[in-house]
Structure formats: structure tokens, C-alpha cells
Amino acid sequence: MRMQAIILAAGKGTRMGGLTADTPKPMLLLSGKPLLEWRLAMSPAATSEVVLVIGHLGEQIERYFGDEWQGLPIRYVYHEQLDGTGGAIRSVYEAGTFSGPALVTNGDDLYRQEDLERLLAYDTAVLACELEDSSRFGLLDTDTEGRLRGIIERPHAPGYGLVNTGAYMLDQAYFSYAPVRISETEYGLPQTLALSARNRSVPVSRTRAWQPVGQPEDIALGEAFLERYWLKR
């Protein structure tokens, strides 16, 4: 199976402070390479093309990667509205660029390739990580068969939780649901996926290895993740 991989990389990265004033967050260096380059390396072997959704300082990303990376074709969708992950993926669909089922991931999260590969068994699914401290993240509510039932927003009870990692398989049917508004200006991809789960099965695949890079202290944690799962290959 050949497959499209979509990486959402349009945000400003405001929690990174001055680090992203002149550099888009996906281009911050981890272990000597831009974060986004590591993300491209994590693409499943079945990937036929990558779509990068870019916005803030996106020309830096396009200039660095061009139209291919190590033989993997790259297309770009510019998304300047900053209206959340739901708005970003909708822009891909409205541009006529979506070719699903497709793997959709956040541009500032690090994964093991085998976890992303496992998602390819589904037309629609979400990757979750079991964390001892889940307070920073939204939680996934699942039924007894491990299927998505809903999203538990922050703030929620501290402690162990099943956290959304920002990695999904999405099909064309996802876009038949109106994007779910999560604030005055943003729409949520996982919340829209949870809405669709009222009418169909959305499996939740689990991992214990995932690293978000959303704030300055996550850079060192990201490099430790790469050391453990990528640099020693």
C-alpha cells in the first residue's frame, strides 16, 4: 500500500518563546538536524508523498526541503489562519490535496517509526501514549474494546492517563463532519474525529514511547528520545 503522509507544521510555537521569533518551530535543531527532518525520517516505508502544512515563516521550510527529501516527494499547503489542527487539516482537503486514507501527524512530536507503521492497518485511527503524568495533555476516552469514545479536555484529574499523541489515520469520511470548535478561533482535529466516532469505529493504537516538543525544556527530552530510538540504529 502506498500512502500520503501529512505533517501539520503551520503554528507559531509561542510556548517556545524567543526560540521561534525568527525560526519556525519545526526547524529548531535537535541533535544537529531540524525537528522536521527527523519527522520526515520517521515516515513509514509505505509513504508515497509528504504534504507539509506550513504557515509561520513557512518559506524557510520550503526553501530548506524543496520539492523532495531523500527521494520522497513533498507538496506544500500554506495555512496562515492559525485556527487549530482542525482548520489546518481542512485546508489540505479544501486545496484538493488530500488523498486518503492518509497518515496525519503534528509537526512537533517525535515517534517511533513502528508505531506509525502500525496505524497503517486502519482507515481511521489515533495513536495514544500511556503517561504517568498526563496533566499537560488532552486524554482519550475509550470503550471496552479500545475504540475512541471521546476527548477529556484539560484541566482534568492529574496522574496516569491515555494521552493523544497527535498521530492519526484519516479517511475521506472524516471531512463529512463539520470541524468542532474548541475556542473562539480554533477547531480541533481530535475533537472532530471523536465526533465521527459516534457513528463509526475509531480504533486507538497504544504506545509507551512518544515525545512532544512544545516548550524549551522539551528540546533536551527530544534529543534523549532520538538517542534512544534513532541515533543508535
The string of DSSP codes covering 45-58 is: TTEEEEEEEE-TTH
Distance in angstroms (rounded) separating the CA atoms of residues 88 and 172 = 15
pLDDT at 233: 58
Q: How confident is the model at residue 232 (pLDDT cuts 50, 70, 90)?
A: low
Q: 38 pLDDT exceeds 90?
A: yes
Any domain includes 141: no
pLDDT at 8: 96
C-alpha cell recorded at residue 27:
526547524
pLDDT at 12: 78
pLDDT tens sequence across 105-153: 999 999 999 999 999 999 999 999 999 988 888 899 999 999 999 998 8
What is residue 168's three-state secondary structure?
strand
Torsion of CA 206, 211, 215, 220, to 10 degrees: 160
The domain of 58 spans 3-126+164-229
Any domain includes 146: no
Q: In the Cβ-directed half-sphere of 59, how many Cα atoms lie within 13 Å? A: 1
pLDDT tens sequence across 176-205: 999 999 999 999 999 999 999 999 999 999
The CATH number of the domain holding residue 193 is 3.90.550.10
Any domain includes 211: yes
User: Are β-strands 3-9 and 102-106 bridged in parallel, bridged antiparallel, or unpaired?
Assistant: parallel
